[in-house]
Amino acid sequence: MKLVEFSIKRPVTTYMMMAAILLLGVIAFFRLPVDLMPEMEYPTLTVATTYQGVAPEEMETLITRPIEEAVGALAGVEKIRSSSSEGQSSVRISFTWGTDLNEAASDVRTRLDRLRRILPEDADPPTLFKYDITQFPIMYLAVASSEMDALALRHLMEDQLQYRLERVPGVAAAEIRGGLRREIHVDMLLEKLRALNISVDEVTNTLRRENLNLPVGPVEDGKYELLLRTQGEFQSVDQIRNVVVTARNGIPIYIRDIARVEDSHEEVRQIVRVDDQPGLRLSIRKQAGSNTVHVAEAVHAELEKIRRDYSHLTIVPTMDSSIFIQRSISNVRDSALSGAVLVVLVLFLFLRNIHSTLIIGITIPISIIATFALMYFYGFTLNTLSFGGLALGVGMLLDNAIVVLDNVFRFRDEGKPIREAAIQGTSEVGTAIMASTLTSVAVFVPLVFLTGFSGVMFKQLAYVVSFAQFVSLFVALTIIPLLCTKMLRRREPDAKRHP
């Protein structure tokens, strides 16, 4: 075979080619995103609608059912599930696998736009969400302080710390739950409203109208043009109390005359406590395609800086998915390494020659490292399935090299020069090991054509194992015969047959 002759006659070119492949694979390995499972996009869309203060039955009648009827006739819809609760409606639309979600989302938005004239005017517009597993938080943090109450702690997190976590490379969002938000309460006195014949809408509209910054427009001052605006937003509670609502018999009626104004907080709907102290919960979400482990490490590094700047804060990770991912990948990696070591030991046990064992054993690292380059350029992640595929194929990678080496021994023991024995021995079995490799790869070909959840899950495994097999074939036809010429000695025909 021309490839075998070229690799032996041009050893420097062959070595440099292998070095380039190894260098590419090593660089790709350090850039591969690490995750637990392959990235996948579930063909599911969710329409969420909020209508505050409405009972579940009315939510189902007024909102949920019209949305179901509107989206039920879309092409590719497989199943629709809905739930209605107090003030909340959720309609989950599942499409068949292979559906273009972008096109489906556009069709759903079109149907929802037509539906808005039917939905109640007071209801919030329906919101469309894509189901994306990467949108689940990778980390939960519990934050507490012995020196701050829940209101001050929430203000500190939103004003000073949230943006520091969101600017960490790879972080998409840092969401805060718990604590208390500042809220100005205007509690109207019903008796006084009735006595003065003032409606609630009149008070509400007055406050809304007075709490505005309005642009006045450009004003010319000589050769200059100034842009003016009126600052009408409230700066204190007293300003709200002194707002005039109306007048009765020429006497102005102030907000303080008909309502109690308090600087308070929003209604408590959830409570977060850390070690019996008021606290917050932060959820960290990563950007799509980013490395979960690297993002988590960067977040922990930023948390160390925050702890130094705010020593009174207690920040404790309550859930960190990167730890589980690292342990899972480490277990698969250790299994692959253990399998490779056992394979080499078994080879040495049967060959009883260190040179022969090294010639065959070099196939494993070259094939695996070259496969990392495929994973990087195809956009795969280093997950339990892709790494498991490498572990699965470790033993299979040596088959071609063993066949080539054994045939080279046969020609060598017949008294031929080692160079000629390597060329003839490898060329003679070249077609046979190609057929053997294709047979092994054919087992994984059906996985490439699987559809649905199984196809997404096992496609990476099929690609990884198949590519590793082809690399092992290439190594068996190039590196193995070249190393035979460098590491094996010539034997005379009557010499004892032993490598």
Using alpha carbons only, give the angle 363, 368, 370 rounded to the nearest 5 degrees. 95
Using alpha carbons only, give the angle 224, 228, 230 rounded to the nearest 5 degrees. 165
Overall number of domains in the chain: 4
Ranking 129-133, 154-158, 336-340, 492-496 by mean pLDDT, the lowest is: 492-496
Q: What is the DSSP string of 36-61?
A: SS---EEEEEEEEEE-TT--HHHHII
**172 and 159 in one domain?**
yes
Reported as a pLDDT band with limits 50, 70 and 90, residue 300 is very high
Paired with 44 in beta bridges are 94
CB 359 within 8 A of CB 372: no
**148 and 11 in one domain?**
no
Give the length of the chain. Answer: 499
| pLDDT for position 132 | 61
Reported as a pLDDT band with limits 50, 70 and 90, residue 301 is very high
Judge whether 221 lies within some domain: no
Ranking 90-104, 196-210, 379-393 by mean pLDDT, the lowest is: 379-393
Of the ranges 356-360, 363-367, 370-374, which is most confident?
370-374
Distance between CA atoms of residues 187 and 119, nearest Å: 31
Residues 6 or more apart in contact with residue 203 via CB below 8 angstroms: 186, 188, 193, 245, 255, 258, 259
pLDDT of residue 498 exceeding 50: no
**475 and 375 in one domain?**
yes
Residue that the structure tokens 């939960």 belong to:
140
**152 and 21 in one domain?**
no
**51 and 23 in one domain?**
no
**470 and 358 in one domain?**
yes
**Burial class of residue 5, CB neighbours in 10 A (0-12, 13-18, 19+):** middle
The more confidently predicted of residues 169 and 385 is 169
Ranking 109-113, 260-264, 456-460, 479-483 by mean pLDDT, the lowest is: 456-460
Q: pLDDT per residue over 239-249, tens digit each?
A: 888 888 888 88
Judge whether 203 lies within some domain: yes
Which of 134, 161, 194 is the last residue in one of the domains? 134
Residues 6 or more apart in contact with residue 306 via CB below 8 angstroms: 161, 164, 313, 315
- Tell me what the mean pLDDT of segment 47-51 comes to: 89
Q: pLDDT per residue over 438-471, tens digit each?
A: 888 888 888 777 776 777 777 888 888 888 888 8
Judge whether 61 lies within some domain: yes
Six-digit token string for 367: 């094939």
Q: What percent of the chain has pLDDT over 70?
A: 95
Helix, strand, coil in percent for the chain, rounding step 5: 55, 20, 25
Look up the domain containing 125 and give its range: 41-134
**81 and 163 in one domain?**
no
**Burial class of residue 373, CB neighbours in 10 A (0-12, 13-18, 19+):** buried
**Whole-number mean pLDDT of the chain?**
82
- Tell me what the mean pLDDT of segment 262-266 comes to: 79
Reported as a pLDDT band with limits 50, 70 and 90, residue 497 is very low
Ranking 5-14, 199-208, 348-357 by mean pLDDT, the lowest is: 348-357
| pLDDT for position 352 | 77
Judge whether 244 lies within some domain: yes
Judge whether 217 lies within some domain: no
Query: For the domain that residue 141 is a member of, what is the CATH number?
Result: 3.30.70.1320
Rounded CA Rg of the chain: 35
Provide the residue type at 381 as one letter: T
| pLDDT for position 499 | 44
Q: What is the DSSP string of 409-457?
A: HHHHHTT--HHHHHHHHHHHHHHHHHHHHHHHHHHHHHHHT--HHHHHH
Closest CA to 464 of 444, 479, 434: 444
Residue that the structure tokens 């949230």 belong to:
162
Query: For the domain that residue 197 is a member of, what is the CATH number?
Result: 3.30.2090.10
User: What pTM did the predictor assign?
Assistant: 0.65
Any alpha helices (H) in 362-417, and if so which ranges? 363-377, 384-393, 399-413
Query: For the domain that residue 45 is a member of, what is the CATH number?
Result: 3.30.70.1430
Residue that the structure tokens 């009126």 belong to:
230
Residues 6 or more apart in contact with residue 304 via CB below 8 angstroms: none
Closest CA to 84 of 110, 64, 103, 68: 64
Judge whether 9 lies within some domain: yes
CB 468 within 8 A of CB 368: yes
Six-digit token string for 329: 């990948």
| pLDDT for position 1 | 62
**101 and 60 in one domain?**
yes
Ranking 161-170, 264-273, 285-294 by mean pLDDT, the lowest is: 264-273
Provide the residue type at 336 as one letter: A
Reported as a pLDDT band with limits 50, 70 and 90, residue 392 is confident
**196 and 57 in one domain?**
no
**363 and 481 in one domain?**
yes
Judge whether 73 lies within some domain: yes
Judge whether 156 lies within some domain: yes
**287 and 159 in one domain?**
yes
Helix (H) or strand (E) holding 476: helix 452-487
Six-digit token string for 94: 């599942």
| pLDDT for position 426 | 86
**161 and 140 in one domain?**
yes
Distance between CA atoms of residues 223 and 5, nearest Å: 86
Closest CA to 122 of 20, 39, 52, 41: 52
Query: For the domain that residue 432 is a member of, what is the CATH number?
Result: 1.20.1640.10
- Burial 412-433, CB ≥16 within 10 A → b, else e: bbeebebeebbbbbbbbbbeeb
Residues 6 or more apart in contact with residue 39 via CB below 8 angstroms: 133, 134, 288, 289, 381
pLDDT of residue 90 exceeding 80: yes
